[in-house]
């Protein structure tokens, strides 16, 4: 028993902590909520005055009939009084819904904004461990469930509370005996709400998890539609999706059993009280212990109470669903980014581009990927990294913009540890073209200008501030001729992930995007792998002028891409085993020379076939 009480206490504490964190979203809209609750009170006050007026009208009309003094004017007075009070109640009902539902939508907006910001701030390893589909489900389905806590739940909860506060004294005044009889089924109502509410909470958590799985599967299949079709796996993927869908439907049906049972059970137990009231109250009215009008008013109040108690069951349903989703929402917001501005970070002098790796050792999950890297890259020089797949080339250059976190003091820019730069300043000085090219579902112009939001003009004549134009960036990346062949030129939409472009065109668009920023440090991570040698030479020629006054890091498997670099580093098993210029490394006759000979042989074989 003690153990169960302890578990319940811990669960309650966790829930209260989640609600406390959620409550901060109410602060900007507290007056909406406060006035909304005030209007609920006055709306209920006038609305619940109507049964009293009806009961009074019945008794007055009955007396008037007995005295033969009933007139049209008397009836009209009662009718217009009831209509007037109902109208006032309706006005308060309108404003309470407008204020509270508006607040719920604003809070949903704020929560979605914070959720998105929390995702954007997360490092790469966060997205390696969390599926995109699951994150999408939390941003849509879960947030929708949380919003219900703010609007409908507050609305119906306070309606039920105020109904109880206002109606109970009135009913006691009409008849203490009938009021006490009405309370007989209430323990059964409470037990029903408690048990079914807990079951709904547990099952809704499972449903949200399955919904995340479905969203993730759909997102992966749509993103990888080319692979699915290339391997003729449409039927297999449809079947896998069907399995998830069937289980999701089954989980929903399990929830429906409990959610559907709540309202009928509440109706039954409350109806039981209604039967008791009628069975006892009618004889009381016949005996004159209670007037017909008062009995009618009591029945009308009882009907109102039934509605609000049913609404209370709905509130419990919303609360259990909302708190289950709130838990999943908070789990993301509570995930502290592993890469963020350190306490020592501040605005540093403008970055020039000197990079130093000092005794750098880096590991993934405890497995060393880079070992004892010592390398100084002077400002304005071009350094290339080559080596076998998995040798650590991409990892090394990814540490510079802090997409991955290097150990403290092992990576410096202009003699300052990169953790002492603010992330915004550091990354604004870097143009990065990753291995996996990503384009947004927008125009080519928007994709190129992505890193420079102020640069929307494609007309060089409109860009008189010396900033690089979109056309110039496209020309440097060897993309300008291709764009001229498109129907809508720079306004050509590229589809999701650039699906309408070839691999080479996507890579060149990404290069143009990086060049457009005019960064002090330019990082090209195997970004010419999808272009032919002619296009490659064209791009390298365009980049020479760009690279002349900025530091450039190039990762490539092609010797032709890096042969003009100021320094070439050969990596093997996470270590730099050779370094020098192209000619120096050929004379050395090591791994680089072997790679060069193999590529020459491959080119000769291709030329003869």
Q: In the chain, how long is the greatest CA-to-CA distance?
A: 126
Of residues 346, 352, 354, the one with CA closest to residue 424: 346
Task: Look at residues 333, 367, 383 and tell me which one is the last residue of a structural domain.
Answer: 333
The mean per-residue pLDDT over the stretch 499-522 comes to 83
Residues 68 and 177 in one domain: yes
Task: Look at residues 483, 518, 553 and tell me which one is the last residue of a structural domain.
Answer: 518
Residues 215 and 281 in one domain: yes
pLDDT of residue 458: 44
- CATH number of the domain enclosing 581: 3.40.50.300
Residues 162 and 241 in one domain: yes
342 inside domain: no
Which helix or strand (DSSP H or E) is residue 390 part of?
Answer: none
* Structure confidence at residue 197 as a pLDDT band (50, 70, 90): low
Work out the mean pLDDT of the chain and round it to a whole number: 79
- CATH number of the domain enclosing 219: 1.20.1560.10
Residues 140 and 280 in one domain: yes
321 inside domain: yes
503 inside domain: yes
Residues 491 and 369 in one domain: no
Residues 504 and 526 in one domain: no
Torsion from C-alpha of 513, 519, 522, 526, nearest 10 degrees: -10
Tokens 């890469």 correspond to 339
Residues 83 and 192 in one domain: yes
1 inside domain: no
24 inside domain: yes
10 inside domain: no
Tokens 């509410």 correspond to 197
4 inside domain: no
Q: Which two tokens stand for residue 314?
A: 């709905």
Question: Residue 15 pLDDT > 70, yes or no?
Answer: no
Q: Which two tokens stand for residue 273?
A: 């009280």
Distances (CA, A) of 504 to 135, 238, 479, 529, 562: 31, 31, 9, 8, 18
Residues 411 and 473 in one domain: no
* Structure confidence at residue 11 as a pLDDT band (50, 70, 90): low
Residues 570 and 608 in one domain: yes
Please enumerate in sequence order all residues whose Cβ is within 8 A of that of 584, keeping only pairs 6 or more positions apart, or say none.
Answer: none
The upper half-sphere exposure of residue 144, i.e. CA atoms within 13 Å in the direction of its Cβ, equals: 5
List, for residues 267-290, the tens digit of each pLDDT value: 777 777 777 877 887 788 777 778
Residues 512 and 523 in one domain: no
How far apart CA 49 and CA 35 sit, in angstroms, is 21
Q: Which two tokens stand for residue 224?
A: 């990888």
Residues 276 and 164 in one domain: yes
Could you tell me the residue range of the domain that residue 222 belongs to? 18-333
Task: Look at residues 307, 333, 359 and tell me which one is the last residue of a structural domain.
Answer: 333
Number of domains composing the chain: 3
Of residues 5, 14, 94, 6, the one with CA closest to residue 47: 94
pLDDT of residue 13: 64
List, for residues 104-113, the tens digit of each pLDDT value: 888 888 888 8
Q: How much is the pTM? A: 0.68
Phi/psi of residue 287, each to 5°?
A: -75, -10
12 inside domain: no
pLDDT of residue 459: 45
Residues 559 and 504 in one domain: no
């Amino acid at each position: 028993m003690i153990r169960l009480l302890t578990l319940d206490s811990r669960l309650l504490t966790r829930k209260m902590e989640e609600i406390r964190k959620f409550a901060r979203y109410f602060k900007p809209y507290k007056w909406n909520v406060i006035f909304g609750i005030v209007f609920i009170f006055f709306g209920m006050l006038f609305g619940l005055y109507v049964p009293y007026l009806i009961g009074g009208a019945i008794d007055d009309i009955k007396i008037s009939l007995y005295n033969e003094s009933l007139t049209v004017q008397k009836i009209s007075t009662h009718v217009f009084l009831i209509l007037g009070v109902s109208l006032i109640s309706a006005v308060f009902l309108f404003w309470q819904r407008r204020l509270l539902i508006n607040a719920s939508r604003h809070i949903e907006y704020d929560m979605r904004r914070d959720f998105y910001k929390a995702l954007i701030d997360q490092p790469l390893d966060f997205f390696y461990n969390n599926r995109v589909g699951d994150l999408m489900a939390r941003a849509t389905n879960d947030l929708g469930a949380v919003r219900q806590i703010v609007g409908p739940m507050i609305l119906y909860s306070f309606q039920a509370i105020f109904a109880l506060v206002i109606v109970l004294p009135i009913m006691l005044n009409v008849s203490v005996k009938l009021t006490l009889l009405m309370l007989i089924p209430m323990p059964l109502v409470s037990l029903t709400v408690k048990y079914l509410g807990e079951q709904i909470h547990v099952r809704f958590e499972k449903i949200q998890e399955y919904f995340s799985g479905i969203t993730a599967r759909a997102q992966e299949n749509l993103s990888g539609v080319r692979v699915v079709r290339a391997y003729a796996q449409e039927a297999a993927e449809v079947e896998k999706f069907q399995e998830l869908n069937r289980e999701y439907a089954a989980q929903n049906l399990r929830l429906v059993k409990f959610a559907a049972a709540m309202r009928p059970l509440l109706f039954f137990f409350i109806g039981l009280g209604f039967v008791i009231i009628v069975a006892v109250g009618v004889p009381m009215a016949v005996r004159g212990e209670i007037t017909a009008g008062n009995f009618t008013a009591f029945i009308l109040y009882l009907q109102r109470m039934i509605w609000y108690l049913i609404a209370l069951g709905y509130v419990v349903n919303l609360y259990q669903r909302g708190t289950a989703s709130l838990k999943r929402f908070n789990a993301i917001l509570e995930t502290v980014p592993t890469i963020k501005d350190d306490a020592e970070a501040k605005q540093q002098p403008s970055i020039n581009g000197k990079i130093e790796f000092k005794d750098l050792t880096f590991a993934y999950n405890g497995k060393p990927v880079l070992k004892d890297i010592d390398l100084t890259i002077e400002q304005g020089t071009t350094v290339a990294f080559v080596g076998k797949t998995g040798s650590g080339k991409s990892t090394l250059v990814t540490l510079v913009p802090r997409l991955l976190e290097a150990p403290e003091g092992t990576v410096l820019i202009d003699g300052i540890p990169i953790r002492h730069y603010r992330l915004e300043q550091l990354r604004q000085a870097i143009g990065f073209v990753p291995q996996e090219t990503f384009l947004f579902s927008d125009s080519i112009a928007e994709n190129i200008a992505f890193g420079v939001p102020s640069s929307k003009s494609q007309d060089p004549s409109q860009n008189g501030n010396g900033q690089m134009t979109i056309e110039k960036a496209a020309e440097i990346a060897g993309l300008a001729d291709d764009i001229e062949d498109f129907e809508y030129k720079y306004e050509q939409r590229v589809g999701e992930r650039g699906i309408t472009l070839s691999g080479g065109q996507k890579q060149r668009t990404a290069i143009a995007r990086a060049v457009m920023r005019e960064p002090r440090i330019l990082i090209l991570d195997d970004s010419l792998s999808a272009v032919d040698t002619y296009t490659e030479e064209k791009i390298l020629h365009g980049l020479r002028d760009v690279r002349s006054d900025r530091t450039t890091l190039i990762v490539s498997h092609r010797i032709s891409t890096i042969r003009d670099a100021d320094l070439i580093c050969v990596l093997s098993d996470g270590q730099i085993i050779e370094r020098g210029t192209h000619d120096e490394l050929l004379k050395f006759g090591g791994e680089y020379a072997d790679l060069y000979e193999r590529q020459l042989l491959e080119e000769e074989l291709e030329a003869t076939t």
